[in-house]
Every structure is written in structure tokens, then in C-alpha cells.
């Protein structure tokens, strides 16, 4: 955190701060290319932004931060870049344990474990175990994650329970589906942030963001700052969230 960011204060009342923020961290490679640097340098700088925003969430008392780290579609990238991403993920798990413990952050990971190297999974499991007793912000990393795959996996589990006679098909509700998603037990995101100016969801938390407020910035993820994060929260705090109902102050809506 630089000195200017460390002095920033969020001018939003606590009850207006989102409980759960989800972020699509886009633009690492483009940021590096603009700097005439290798793409991997963008991922390295992006990891620093992860620490910055995670620590700020802990300071603000935000209950959960969910980050889109690696999508199920990202395996189409060049092999050397994927190898570096796996190395970076392993190093993150090792290097950030102290930060997570100091900030009372509990780690969770969602997504399919297939294709994640065994040594990386070992480091993931160690961090999960080490932080399991923490009671502050939940940092949820979406790794090898796809929203459609998540729903398919939930349908498979529900179908198996129906076939086994553990569940009656007529009793399946939205809660049933939610309870079988990777995010079972978590609250839905209140605020979805996307960097790099892209106006799409990219197969991210398709079920969970039904009523999330979206906020998009042209900033690339490596240059995303606490000031930008505060702006997103400030804009969120001014929005009228009706969840499909009417605004009591404006019955014509």
C-alpha cells in the first residue's frame, strides 16, 4: 500500500457498505503490454493489487471478497503463461498466509480442482486449514471456475439425491440449488466490480449475481487502487436496490 492510499478514508456509513464484493480482475496482460513488459509481469502486479484490496476489505469489515482468479476458459492460454500462473498461485498461497493471519482473513476456494497441479493443491489446502478458524473477511478465490460448470455440478448432485430417494423432485427450490453450488453457505454478492472496461459477465457467478449491482472501470486490474475501490463502494451506496419490488419512496417505479 502506498502512502497516499494508506491515508484514504471511505466516506460511507457502515450500513451502506456491501457485505459481499465480487471482482472480475481483468486487464493484467493488457497492462503489461502497454508498459512494453511480458504478460507475466502483469500477473505479478495484479497479485499485488489482490493484497491491497483484500487488506482494505478486512479494514472496512466487508464480510466477503470473491475474486475471479482463473476461469475454466483460461486453459486456452499459452502453456508458458499457464505454468507461470500456477507458479504464481502456489507462491501466493505461501507468501500471503502471514497477511491472512494478521488480518483475520479466512480463505475459501471455489471451482473444479481438476487440472490444478498436485503441488499447488497442497499449498491451497494448507492455507485453507491454517485460516479456517479466522473470523474476519472471507477471501474466496474462484480458481478453474465457470458459472455454467458450477450449475451443471449442482444439477448432477441434486439428480443423484433424487435417484437415491434422499430428495423429492417436487420439493426442489431455489434454495435447494443454492445449497448445492460451490458457494453453498455464502451470501450472494451485493456489488460486482469489473476492471478493464469490459461489459460482460464472463461466466462468473451466474446464479449468485442475480441482484448484484455492477460497477465497471476502464482501469486495468494492476492499476486498480484503493481510491477506485472506494469510488465503487460510494457509487453502490447511492443506488436504490429494489430486488424486483417497488421503491417505497417512489411507488411509480
The residue behind cell 460511507 is 12
- Ranges of each domain in the chain: 18-146+189-237
* Assigned C-alpha cell, 171: 420439493
pLDDT tens-digit map of 65-101: 999 999 998 888 889 999 999 999 999 999 999 999 9
First to last CA, the chain: 43
Rounded-to-integer distance, Cα 53 and Cα 176, Å: 32
pLDDT tens-digit map of 167-203: 999 999 999 999 999 999 999 999 999 999 999 999 9
- β-partners of residue 107 are 139
Catalytic residues: 26, 74
CATH number (3.30.930.10, 3.30.1490.20, 3.40.1180.10, 3.40.50.300) of 18-146+189-237 reads: 3.40.1180.10
Amino acid at each position: 500500500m502506498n502512502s497516499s492510499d494508506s491515508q484514504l478514508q471511505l466516506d460511507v456509513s457502515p450500513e451502506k457498505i456491501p457485505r459481499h464484493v465480487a471482482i472480475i480482475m481483468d486487464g493484467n496482460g493488457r497492462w503489461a503490454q502497454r508498459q512494453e513488459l511480458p504478460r507475466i509481469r502483469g500477473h505479478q502486479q495484479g497479485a499485488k493489487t489482490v493484497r491491497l484490496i483484500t487488506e482494505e476489505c478486512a479494514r472496512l469489515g466487508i464480510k466477503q471478497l470473491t475474486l475471479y482468479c482463473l476461469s475454466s476458459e483460461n486453459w486456452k492460454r499459452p502453456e508458458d503463461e499457464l505454468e507461470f500462473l500456477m507458479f504464481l498461485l502456489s507462491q501466493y498461497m505461501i507468501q500471503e498466509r502471514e497477511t491472512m493471519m494478521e488480518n483475520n482473513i479466512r480463505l475459501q476456494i471455489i471451482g473444479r480442482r481438476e487440472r490444478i497441479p498436485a503441488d499447488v493443491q497442497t499449498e491451497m489446502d494448507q492455507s485453507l486449514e491454517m485460516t479456517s478458524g479466522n473470523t474476519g473477511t472471507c477471501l474466496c478465490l474462484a480458481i478453474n471456475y465457470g458459472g455454467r460448470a458450477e450449475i451443471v455440478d449442482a444439477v448432477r448432485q441434486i439428480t443423484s439425491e433424487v435417484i437415491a430417494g434422499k430428495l423429492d423432485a417436487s420439493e426442489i427450490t431455489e434454495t435447494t440449488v443454492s445449497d448445492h453450488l460451490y458457494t453453498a453457505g455464502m451470501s450472494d454478492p451485493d456489488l460486482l466490480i469489473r476492471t478493464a472496461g469490459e461489459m460482460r459477465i464472463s461466466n462468473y457467478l451466474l446464479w449468485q449475481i442475480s441482484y448484484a449491482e455492477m460497477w465497471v472501470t476502464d482501469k486495468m486490474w494492476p492499476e486498480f487502487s484503493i481510491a477506485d475501490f472506494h469510488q465503487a463502494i460510494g457509487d453502490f451506496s447511492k443506488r436504490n436496490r429494489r430486488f424486483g419490488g417497488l421503491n417505497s419512496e417512489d411507488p411509480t417505479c
